[in-house]
Amino acid sequence: MSKKPSEPNYQITHPLDRPVIWIIALVFFAIAAGFFFLPTGNSIPIPGPANVSPADINPAPRFKVLSDPPKAMINGFERTCMDCHVIIDAKPHSTDLHQHANIKLQHGLNTRCVNCHDAKDRNKLATLDNKTFDYAQASQLCAQCHGPVYRQWERGIHGKTLGYWDTKLGKAEKLTCTQCHNPHHPRFDPIKPLPGPNTLRMGEQDTEDTPHHDGHKKNPLLLPQAPETTDSHLPANESKH
């Protein structure tokens, strides 16, 4: 009887009996513990709250429009215009006034008081073609010389509307020209800008506001960091224009 060829020796071992399994498990465990306990090295800069005065973001009108009939504080007394003006004849071309010294007209070529004020009835404003308006309707007065801005204002492109967008819920209040502009010097003085947006992506803002300030801090979230440009207040990956 010939010997049967020997069968291949398949040895089945339990996986947990293999030392290599335990070594791999230990290594993974060590890595997980490392992620958990070791410091990451990157701290995320969280900027403090911007220092903004509530008065700078107050949406209320800048001026309160004169009442009807208009009153003015003159030499410490509140008077209506016609208290005096019934007896004062208008001098339409006078620039040297003996009253109202607080009013310094800075309105470009618009240098005459009677371009806007009715020469006879001081309770009214008047256009050059003698249409009169109450002080509350001053926008109509501005319209005769500032047509384009007036039309933009009518359509809501210039100026501001407060109150409700949906007029079923409440009133929409469109501010008049003289609630924002002083009619006697309508140009705004330069307005101090509010702080810009400060997101993590933009990095820490350079607190010293000089264009070539060297103490610029690198942002760990903006990687890779390109070599420092001369304009060091820009984020390093932003190209100069």
* Nearest residue to 112 via CA among 137, 98, 95: 95
Phi/psi region, residue 41 (left: phi>0; alpha: psi -120 to 50; beta: rest), is left
Choosing from 137, 144, 205, 232, the residue that interacts with ligand HEC (CB under 6 A) is 144
Q: Which of residues 51-70 bind ligand HEC (CB under 6 A)?
A: 63, 65-66, 70
- In this structure, what are the phi and psi dihedrals at residue 40, rounded to the nearest 5 degrees? -75, -20
Q: Please spell the DSSP secondary structure of 1-44, one letter per residue.
A: -PPPPPPP------GGG-HHHHHHHHHHHHHHHHHHHS--S---
Interface characters, 162-201, with ligand HEC (x: CB under 6 A): -------------x-xxxxx-xx-xxx-------------
- The verdict on 219 binding ligand HEC (CB under 6 A) reads no
* Contact status: 126 vs ligand HEC (CB under 6 A): no
Does the protein bind ligand HEC through residue 203 (CB under 6 A)?
Answer: no
In the complex, least distance from residue 111 CB atom to ligand HEC, rounded to whole angstroms:
7
Element spanning 72, H or E:
strand 71-74
Which is nearer to ligand HEC, 114 or 200 (by Cβ)? Answer: 114
Contacting residues for 113 by C-beta, under 8 A, at least 6 apart: 92, 105
Min CB(101)–ligand HEC separation in Å: 9
Q: Does 120 bind ligand HEC (CB under 6 A)?
A: no
The answer to whether the beta carbons of residues 178 and 65 sit under 8 Å apart is yes
Collapsed DSSP state (helix, strand, coil) of residue 174: strand
Put residue 4 in one of left, alpha, beta given phi > 0 → left and psi -120 to 50 → alpha.
Answer: beta
The only residue of 124, 125, 216, 219 in contact with ligand HEC, by rule CB under 6 A:
125
Query: Could you list the residues that contact ligand HEC (CB under 6 A)?
Result: 63, 65-66, 70, 72, 74, 79, 81, 83-85, 88, 90-92, 94, 97-100, 103, 105, 107-110, 113-117, 119, 122, 125, 135, 138-139, 141-142, 144-146, 149-150, 153, 158-160, 175, 177-181, 183-184, 186-188
